[in-house]
Each structure stands twice: as C-alpha cells, then as structure tokens.
Amino acid sequence: MIVKTAEEIELLRQSSLLVGKTLAEVAKIMRTGLKTIEMDKIAEEFILDNGAKPGFKGYGGFPATLCISVADEVVHGIPGNRELKDGDLVSVDCGTFMNGYYGDYAYSFAVGETDDATLKLQKITKESVYLGCEQAIFGKRIGDIGSAIQSHVESFGYSVVRDLVGHGIGKNLHERPEVFNYGRKGTGKKLAENLVLCIEPMINMGTKDVMQDNDGWTIRTRDSKASAHFEHTVVVKRGKVEFLSTYEFIEEVLKQNINIR
C-alpha cells in the first residue's frame, strides 16, 4: 500500500475535482435519444481543455474516455451509437491524468421516465458508497468497508458484485490495496493514514453473477437485471474520512436538467 504525502494528496485532489466537473458537463447534455459516443466526445474535449488527459483512454487498450454502462451493464461499457432511452440507469465512470496523478470516480444517472424499482436501486447504491467511505479511517480494515456496503444493500434484497473491486490510486490508476465491496468487520488489511482509495460499489437488482461481452470490456449482469455503480475517492485519516471527490458539480446540474435524476 502506497501512502501519500500532503503534496501528492493535493495533486490527486486536482485530478479528482476535474473528474467531477467533467461528469457535470456530461450531465448537462444527457437525455433520451442521446448517443453515448456524444457523451464521450464532450468529456474528452473538456478534459483536454483543462490541461489534463483522459485517464482511461488507452489504458489496457480501452478505446474511450468514459466507461458508460447502461441498464444491465455493470461497468466498462464502451461508448458508441447506442441511444439512451426512458428508464435507463447509466453508470458514467471517468478518469483523468494531470500533473502525474490520476482521478477516478463514477455516478449512476436515471434517464427520462424511470420506474420506482430502478430509482430505489440507484438510491440504495449511492447510500452504500457513503457508508463504505465512512469506514475508511485509520485503524479500520478493508473488511469494514465491504461489510458496511454489503450489509446495507443486501438488507434491501440487492446483491454485491464479487468479481470487481475498488482500489488504491495515485501515480497509477490502480494501486494496492483491492477494496472489496463485501466482507466481514475486522478482517483484511489495516488502513494506513494518508492511503488514497477509490471505493466503488457495483450493486445488482438480481444475481451477483456477471459476464463479459465479446468486446473484451463490457461487464453485464448474468440475469439481465439492472445494475448501479457509484464511486468516490477518499483519503484515510484519523477519526474521519477525507473526500477528494465530490458530486457537487453533478448534482447542481441535476437540479436544472429535468431529463435525468
């Protein structure tokens, strides 16, 4: 596990804030009928205009700036000519690279007229990321994060994806430790002060089981039921977690954009 200096944390904060602002730019145009490739173009232009590079594009061969995962797609969806439609739950995961450090987090949007079941999945998943983040304090363990997420979502009958996890972040997009979204309190690696983590529950309406598409990237639920995904970047501190990411920019747009929630 690579703990960060105060200077490194500030650089990570800058990259992370740009992620939030980029997701807000995407939210401004989101609506039914919009092609996901158009969302990707807006994001790439905005990141480049702000002196950074897309963190995902080219990473491991990924072809786009955003991971856009719709409906039963869990994560790593590739933008293309697919058009958003009423009722879609859309995870938009964004990465930036600036001044040698990465930013990375995600938000799930509900598009158009959306049923109550989908909105509830979105709400509970968002709650779970905050509950997990609250456990990211010095002296706790990785299992405390996963336990908080798992116990919350399973109490509503949802399932936690086991095959994908959160991670550390810094000069590399993915650093140790892996951050599981399930687990038992008091188990796993101890959390060191100034460790920076991406906590990202991926929660399914049905089975926890997933599969990968032939494109080599897109992960979707095995039973074709909806999935939601939220992610925050945090610093492990004594007594209380510190957020480097924020949904503030996104949610300011949501107040104005009647097409999404």
- Spans of all domains in the chain: 6-256
Average pLDDT in the chain = 97
Digit-coded pLDDT (tens) for 169-180: 999 999 999 999
Distance CA 234, CA 27 (A): 23
Q: How many CA atoms lie within 13 A of 182 on its CB side?
A: 12
Digit-coded pLDDT (tens) for 142-165: 999 999 999 999 999 999 999 999
SS3 123: helix
Identify the pLDDT of residue 61: 97
Digit-coded pLDDT (tens) for 177-197: 999 999 999 999 999 999 999
Identify the pLDDT of residue 42: 98
Q: Exposed, middle or buried: residue 174 (CB in 10 Å: 0-12, 13-18, 19+)? A: middle
List, in sequence order, every residue forming a beta bridge with 175; answer none if it has no partner: 168
- Residues 85-120 as b or e (16 or more Cβ within 10 Å = b): eebbbbbbbbbbbbeebbbbbbbbbbbbebeeebee
Identify the pLDDT of residue 86: 95
Identify the pLDDT of residue 53: 98
Q: Which two tokens stand for residue 132?
A: 């997990």
Could you tell me where the DSSP H helices lie in 53-208? 116-134, 142-154
Which regions of the chain does DSSP assign to beta strands (E)?
Answer: 53-54, 66-70, 73-75, 89-98, 101-110, 159-160, 166-168, 175-179, 196-199, 202-204, 210-212, 219-221, 227-229, 232-235, 242-243
What letter would DSSP give residue 125? H
Confidence of residue 98 (pLDDT cuts 50, 70, 90): very high
Identify the pLDDT of residue 189: 94
Identify the pLDDT of residue 1: 84
Question: Domain 6-256: which topology?
Answer: Creatine Amidinohydrolase (3.90.230)
Confidence of residue 50 (pLDDT cuts 50, 70, 90): very high
Q: Exposed, middle or buried: residue 49 (CB in 10 Å: 0-12, 13-18, 19+)? A: exposed
Distance CA 244, CA 233 (A): 6
Asked, as a colleague might, if the bond just before 63 is cis with ω within 30 of 0, I would say no
Distance CA 172, CA 186 (A): 28
Mean pLDDT to the nearest integer, 51-74: 98
Taking 90 as the threshold, does the pLDDT of residue 200 lie above it? yes
Confidence of residue 31 (pLDDT cuts 50, 70, 90): very high
